[in-house]
């Protein structure tokens, strides 16, 4: 069965040299695609989680009574929102990467403590996190002061009010915009190719550099994978949105 | 800050010469009043007379510029005020109910005792169910605020406040946002509370209710208490022309 499948695509490549689905019959290329895909998934999941954490913490700090903390968050947002993520990746890896300490596992090689994957995670998470701060802030501002005041009058402290009253309500307001931003983030992970993170795009480009007839087939796969990947994310987010819906509150 | 030992024969809430401004606007210009334990007092007066501000100052939702407010001997207008200690003593119900819309009625009632008093969940739930029953909302425990009428929401808000076992309850125009037909159910709940000996301070426009329930009525206008007295004398024999004018418009 598998043999017949591989044979079919091997023959297709012979008869139609423009459609060489090499990753479907050459196990070495299949392996490259799968490791690339796995890296893309890891990168996406870690960055999504980190960026949401950054968003929640940043929005909390934005409401801080300490002025320099608010200014710090504002500066962070301006920096990451107003510069292209591609430039950020390059800057983080090539500029900042020079100043981070290195370690030597074997006494010869100098390895930086933050790898290119590490820089990609940091840079992409902070990039999307900057938008998430703004998204959560709009949600937080939608929570009426009177609701917070009621919690205050019941003796809750600032952290409890944020954790148990403001955030759950703000989250519901923010979800649609958060959804958009996370979709963008997953797609932006492809830009990690510029610092040689071996994610899916990197692997597919490598494949068609090695086998130029595989170019179209690689492009097609790229689109399919992202449609599916983002589709899963959006489905999950929509389900979450539905689960968080409160009877009698907002649109039902 | 010297905490004088409070004994129940002293006023539970003692307000002395309180001044409060919002920017240049002075809303309280030297207000004094005492409330004894178990007393029910109503504060009435035209809008903008500072009555809501006054009761919001009692649990430090607003700060004051001058004067003194003591609750069970604790000075509210003190630097480094222990807000938590104050708020355990004073419960508050608002005009717009301000329930937590993402929590069911029962969860609304249970939240503060769990988080603030850190009591065990089964005990809190038992007390919360009893309170929901007490405000006559049995069967609505699992409904969200959005599924309840205004009057029902306000009664949940009362139960939520009572769950903290306060010694004093503040009611800030709690029926002002309600449909006329649901006003009564909230007033009945407050009446039950008063009958049980809860110290209640109400800002209200319900004159009939004030007359029925209050031990003492205060009339405020433009930041001062113009006149006060027990309802019988207050409504029949108001002396000040401002009080008389207000009453003639309302009654």
Q: Where are the domains of chain A?
A: 2-244
CA A90 to each of CA A21, B14, B161, B238: distance values in angstroms, whole numbers, following the listed order: 32, 66, 56, 80
CATH number for the domain that contains residue B245: 3.40.50.300
Domain annotation covers residue B83 = no
| pLDDT tens-place string over residues A191-203 | 999 999 999 999 9
Inform me whether the pLDDT recorded for B251 exceeds 70.
no
Indicate the helix (H) or strand (E) that contains B17.
Answer: strand B13-22
Q: What does the mean pLDDT of chain A come to?
A: 92
Give the pLDDT score at A99.
Answer: 85
- Give the pLDDT band (50/70/90) at residue A34: very high
- Which residues of chain A have a CB within 8 Å of the CB of B144? 246-249
Asked if residue B112 lies in contact with residue B164, where contact means CB atoms within 8 angstroms, the answer is: yes
Minimal-distance CA residue of chain B relative to A159 = B115
Compute the average pLDDT of residues B129-136. Answer: 94
Name the residue with tokens 């689905």. Answer: A21
Residues 6 or more apart from A110 whose CB is under 8 A from it?
A102, A103, A104
Inform me whether the pLDDT recorded for A1 exceeds 80.
no
Total domains present in chain B: 2
Rounded distance, CA B30 to CA B22, Å?
A: 15
Name the residue with tokens 């993402």. Answer: B102
The fraction of chain A above a pLDDT of 70, given in percent, is 99
Give the pLDDT score at B86.
Answer: 94
Tokens of A30: 């299949």
Pick from A146, A149, A249: CB nearest B146: A249
Q: Can you say how many angstroms the Cα of residue A176 is from the centroid of all Cα atoms in its chain? A: 16
Asked if B92 is an interface residue toward chain A (Cβ–Cβ < 8 A), one would say yes
Distance from CA of B228 to the nearest CA of A (A): 28
Give the pLDDT score at A110.
Answer: 78
Minimal-distance CA residue of chain A relative to B60 = A153
Do B145 and A248 lie within an 8 Å CB cutoff?
Answer: yes
The answer to whether residues B35 and B72 belong to one domain is yes
Give the pLDDT score at A252.
Answer: 43
Asked if B147 is an interface residue toward chain A (Cβ–Cβ < 8 A), one would say yes
Task: Tell me the sheet residues that pair with B219.
Answer: B44, B227
Pick from A152, A153, A169: CB nearest B102: A169
Domain annotation covers residue B86 = no
- Give the pLDDT band (50/70/90) at residue A155: very high
Asked if residue B72 lies in contact with residue B89, where contact means CB atoms within 8 angstroms, the answer is: yes
Domain annotation covers residue B19 = yes
Asked if residue A90 lies in contact with residue A194, where contact means CB atoms within 8 angstroms, the answer is: yes
Mutation site for B-interface testing, chosen from A145, A152, A153 by largest number of B Cβ within 10 Å: A153
| pLDDT tens-place string over residues A62-77 | 988 899 999 999 999 9
Q: A2-244 adopts what CATH topology?
A: MetI-like fold (1.10.3720)
Give the pLDDT score at A194.
Answer: 94
Asked if residue B3 lies in contact with residue B73, where contact means CB atoms within 8 angstroms, the answer is: yes
Asked if residue A167 lies in contact with residue A145, where contact means CB atoms within 8 angstroms, the answer is: no
Domain annotation covers residue B1 = no
Asked if residue B92 lies in contact with residue B174, where contact means CB atoms within 8 angstroms, the answer is: no
Give me the domain span that covers residue B140. Answer: 99-166
Domain annotation covers residue B93 = no
**b/e code B54-80 from CB counts within 10 Å (16+ = b):** bbbbbbbbbebeebebbbbebbbbeee
Domain annotation covers residue B144 = yes
Q: What is the pTM of this model?
A: 0.80
Dihedral sign (CA A98, A103, A106, A111): negative
The fraction of chain B above a pLDDT of 90, given in percent, is 71
The answer to whether residues B68 and B22 belong to one domain is yes
Pick from A144, A154, A169: CB nearest B164: A154
Rounded distance, CA B171 to CA A179, Å?
A: 41
Inform me whether the pLDDT recorded for B3 exceeds 70.
no
Domain annotation covers residue B180 = no
Give the pLDDT score at A39.
Answer: 96
- Give the pLDDT band (50/70/90) at residue B93: very high
The fraction of chain A above a pLDDT of 90, given in percent, is 76
Do B87 and A153 lie within an 8 Å CB cutoff?
Answer: yes
- Which residues of chain A have a CB within 8 Å of the CB of B146? 246-249
Domain annotation covers residue B125 = yes
Give the pLDDT score at B1.
Answer: 45
Q: Can you say how many angstroms the Cα of residue B61 is from the centroid of all Cα atoms in its chain? A: 12
Inform me whether the pLDDT recorded for A57 exceeds 80.
yes
**b/e code A112-133 from CB counts within 10 Å (16+ = b):** bebebbbbbbbbbbbbbbbbbb
């Amino acid at each position: 069965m598998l043999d017949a499948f591989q044979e079919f695509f091997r023959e297709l490549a012979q008869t139609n040299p423009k459609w060489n689905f090499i990753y479907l019959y050459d196990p070495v290329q299949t392996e490259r695609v799968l490791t690339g895909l796995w890296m893309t998934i890891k990168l996406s999941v870690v960055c999504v989680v980190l960026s949401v954490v950054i968003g929640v913490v940043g929005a909390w700090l934005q409401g801080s009574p300490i002025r320099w903390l608010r200014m710090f968050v504002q500066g962070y947002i301006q920096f990451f929102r107003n510069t292209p993520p591609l430039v950020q990746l390059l800057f983080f890896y090539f500029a900042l990467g020079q100043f981070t300490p290195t370690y030597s596992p074997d006494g010869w090689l100098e390895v930086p403590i933050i790898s290119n994957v590490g820089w990609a995670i940091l840079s992409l998470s902070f990039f999307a996190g900057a938008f998430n701060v703004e998204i959560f802030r709009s949600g937080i501002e939608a929570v009426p002061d009177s609701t917070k005041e009621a919690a205050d009058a019941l003796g809750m402290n600032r952290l409890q009010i944020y954790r148990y009253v403001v955030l759950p309500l703000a989250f519901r307001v923010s979800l649609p915009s958060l959804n958009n931003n996370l979709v963008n983030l997953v797609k932006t992970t492809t830009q990690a190719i510029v610092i040689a993170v071996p994610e899916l795009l990197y692997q597919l480009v490598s494949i068609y550099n090695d086998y130029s007839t595989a170019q179209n087939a690689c492009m097609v796969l790229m689109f399919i994978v992202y449609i599916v990947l983002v589709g899963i994310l959006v489905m999950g987010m929509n389900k979450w949105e539905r689960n968080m819906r409160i009877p009698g509150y907002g649109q039902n | 800050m010297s905490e004088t030992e409070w004994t129940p024969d002293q006023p539970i809430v003692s307000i002395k010469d309180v001044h409060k401004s919002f920017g240049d606007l002075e809303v309280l210009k030297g207000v004094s009043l005492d409330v004894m334990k178990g007393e029910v007092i109503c504060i009435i007066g035209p809008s903008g007379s500072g009555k809501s501000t006054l009761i919001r100052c009692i649990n430090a939702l607003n700060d004051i510029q001058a004067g003194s407010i003591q609750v069970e001997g604790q000075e509210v207008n003190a630097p480094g005020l222990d807000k938590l200690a104050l708020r355990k003593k004073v419960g508050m119900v608002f005009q717009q109910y301000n329930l937590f819309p993402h929590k069911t009625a029962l969860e609304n009632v249970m939240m503060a005792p769990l988080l603030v008093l850190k009591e065990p969940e089964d005990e809190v739930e038992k007390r919360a169910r009893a309170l929901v029953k007490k405000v006559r909302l049995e069967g609505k425990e699992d409904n969200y605020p959005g599924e309840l009428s205004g009057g029902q929401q306000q009664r949940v808000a009362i139960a939520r406040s009572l769950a903290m076992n306060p010694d004093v309850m503040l009611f800030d125009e709690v029926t002002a946002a309600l449909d006329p037909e649901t006003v009564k159910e909230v007033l009945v709940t407050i009446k039950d509370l008063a009958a049980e000996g809860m110290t209640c301070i109400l800002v209200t426009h319900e004159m009939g209710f004030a007359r029925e329930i209050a031990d003492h009525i205060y009339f405020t206008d433009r930041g001062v208490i113009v006149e006060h007295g027990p309802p019988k004398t207050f409504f029949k024999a108001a002396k000040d022309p401002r009080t008389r004018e207000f009453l003639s418009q309302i009654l």
